[in-house]
Amino acid sequence: MHLILRLDMRSPGFATGHDRLYRAGLEMAEWADRHGFDEIMLSEHHGSDDGYLPAPLAYAAAIAGRTERIRLRISALVLPLHDPLRVAEDVAVIDNISNGRIELVVAGGFLPSEFEMFGRSLAERPRRVEEGIELLKLAWSGEPFSHAGRRIRVTPRPIQRPHPPILIGGSSEVAARRAARIADGFVPAVPELYEVYAEACREAGKTPAEDRVLGPPFLHVSEDPERAWARIAPHALHETNSYGRWYAETGTVGPYQPIEDADALRASGSYRVVTPEQCIGLIEQLDERAWLFIHPLMSGLDPDLGWESLNLLASKVLPAL
């Protein structure tokens, strides 16, 4: 089982303010590091009404300075919105701060408003992803190279060799095949795309990166699940409907669907609010390769409520496993 602490720092108007969320996220990252979590997952979006984390590399640097062993996964970095050389420099510094713990899931992006904000074209996404990954690999070699008539050298070199892992996230067969060709792994928006990636790897004589077996995307532990769900429901509805609207507006495939009824959302199984005993039973039924996402600040949840869940995980769930 892979335990993942997820932080995206979004907070709608009815929720906890960002100043408190960012501080709580750092404290929770330290807690996850001490309690054997495998990764901290930081996501990226821009110009969102709820303040979705726009600078995951900056936050990763802060987390790196307060943790010792947990890996830092940026999932996903919208690479066409960035200067790849600045990404290379920032990631190299974070890799040195963290002693080699950062990895990137890069994506082409899908929201027109973000591309408009940065003066970029959606049509350029494939080129910018491919060129960006090539530049990252060259930059992390530590050696001088030429690009577009310019002499370039990025220092310091990252700790990880040959470079920090680069995965591609995507919702299309094209993205799956691109990942097989130029990346270290693939993070599919829907599970069916993994086999497209794996087959493309085999055709190229490569071993595909291990598939992710996903547990529930949200898991919260409470001694009183009904009371906890009443507080969580508005935040869960905000998250699933925000993503659902983005997907609907752009024709993107993803794991979230618009749902207006809290009871229907809970019945879908995506948002699991359970007792410690139920949590143990749920985890014991999962595949041993399962990724279990703990999202204690989801859509601006009160950090005190998030801590209740984390403390129950530490005191009653993890010891039993």
For residue range 182-199, list pLDDT tens digits in order.
Answer: 999 999 988 899 999 999
What average pLDDT does range 260-289 have in this prediction? Answer: 94
- If DSSP codes are grouped into helix, strand and coil, which group holds residue 273? strand
Predicted local confidence at residue 162, as pLDDT:
96
Whole-number pLDDT of residue 202: 96
- Dist CA 154 CA 142 (whole Å): 6
How far, CA to CA in Å, does 238 sit from each of 176, 281, 314? 29, 28, 28
Q: What is residue 170's DSSP assignment?
A: E
Which pTM does this prediction carry?
Answer: 0.95
Average pLDDT of the residues of the chain: 96
The two beta strands, 2-7 and 290-294, are: parallel
| Model confidence at 220: pLDDT above 90 | yes
Tell me what percent of the residues of the chain surpass a pLDDT of 70.
100
pLDDT at residue 235 in the model: 98
d(CA 136, CA 55): 18
CA distance 140 to 211: 26
